[in-house]
């Protein structure tokens, strides 16, 4: 189970690093108004930049919520059940609900992401670089969800 601990630790570090993405997103959102009204330039570029950073942030934040057990709350249904049964429901329920969806998403979006990355797809409205990163973030969300579901299923119960 040493490999599982390593995967869990790496996943935690990635998510921990990703939480700082909220700062540039907030800054970019703040700057859009003065860029549009006072500078009269670069607000669309700021919007595009903010979109792909936000997409990456959300792909990490969903996994963070799952890791903290704030996203999938077994207790809402099973608050009267024993801790052991709640843990089993959380682990297997999370796996049975999340893993098939995540696997399907990886299979479905992989060709689109691959094409988008190969041409470094740009935003259609502005022709600014970085649109491919939004598609990469969708794939990342599915991969992280699948890895987290597997880690949660295989990890020894938390008591």
pLDDT for the residue numbered 65: 82
- pLDDT digits 0-9 by tens, 66-95: 777 775 555 667 777 888 887 887 788 888
- Backbone conformation region of residue 11, classed left if phi is above 0, alpha if psi is from -120 to 50, else beta: alpha
Residue range 26-52: average pLDDT?
A: 88
Token code pair at residue 34 = 């003065």
pLDDT for the residue numbered 144: 94
> Average model confidence (pLDDT) for the chain?
87
pLDDT for the residue numbered 73: 59
pLDDT for the residue numbered 131: 92
Q: Which of the pair, 158 or 83, is modelled with greater confidence?
A: 83
At a CB cut-off of 8 Å and minimum separation 6, what does 18 contact?
A: 56, 57, 60, 61, 64
Token code pair at residue 33 = 């108004």
Count other Cβ atoms within 10 Å, centred on residue 109. 17
8 Å CB contact between 27 and 112? no
Per-residue confidence band for 53, with pLDDT thresholds at 50, 70 and 90: very high
pLDDT for the residue numbered 142: 95
pLDDT for the residue numbered 137: 95
pLDDT for the residue numbered 125: 86
- pLDDT digits 0-9 by tens, 80-136: 788 888 788 778 888 898 899 999 999 999 999 999 999 999 998 898 888 999 999
Q: Domain coordinates of the chain in residue numbers?
A: 2-154
Distance from C-alpha of 145 to C-alpha of 62, rounded to nearest angstrom: 8
Residue range 48-56: average pLDDT?
A: 90
């Amino acid at each position: 189970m040493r490999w599982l601990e390593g995967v869990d630790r790496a996943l935690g570090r990635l998510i921990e690093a990703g939480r700082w993405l909220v700062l540039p997103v907030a800054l970019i959102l703040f700057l859009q108004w003065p860029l549009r009204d006072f500078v009269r330039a670069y607000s669309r570029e700021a919007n595009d930049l903010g979109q792909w950073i936000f997409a990456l942030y959300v792909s990490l934040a969903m996994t963070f919520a799952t890791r903290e057990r704030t996203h999938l709350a077994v207790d809402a249904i099973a608050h009267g059940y024993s801790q052991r049964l709640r843990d089993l429901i959380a682990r297997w329920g999370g796996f049975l609900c999340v893993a098939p969806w995540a696997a399907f998403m990886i299979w479905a979006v992989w060709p689109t992401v691959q094409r988008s990355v190969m041409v470094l797809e740009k935003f259609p409205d502005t022709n600014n670089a970085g649109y491919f990163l939004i598609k990469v973030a969708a794939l990342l969300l599915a991969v992280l969800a699948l890895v987290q579901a597997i880690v949660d299923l295989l990890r020894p119960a938390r008591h």
